[in-house]
Amino acid sequence: MKFTVRTFGLLCLVALATALPGCGATLQTIKVPVQVECKEDIPERPTMPTEQFTVKPSVDQFVQAAQVEILRRDGYEKRLDAALRACTAPIVSSPKP
Digit-coded pLDDT (tens) for 81-96: 999 998 887 777 666 6
Contact 36, 91 (CB under 8 A): yes
> How many independent structural domains does the chain possess?
1
Residue 29 lies in a domain: no
How many CA atoms, within 13 angstroms, populate the side-chain half-sphere of residue 18? 5
d(CA 34, CA 37): 10
Contact between 50 and 66 (Cβ < 8 Å)? yes
What's the predicted TM-score (pTM) here?
0.54
Report d(CA 14, CA 20) in Å as an integer: 10
Residue 76 lies in a domain: yes
Range of the domain at 52: 42-89
Confidence band, pLDDT 50/70/90 cuts, at residue 24: low
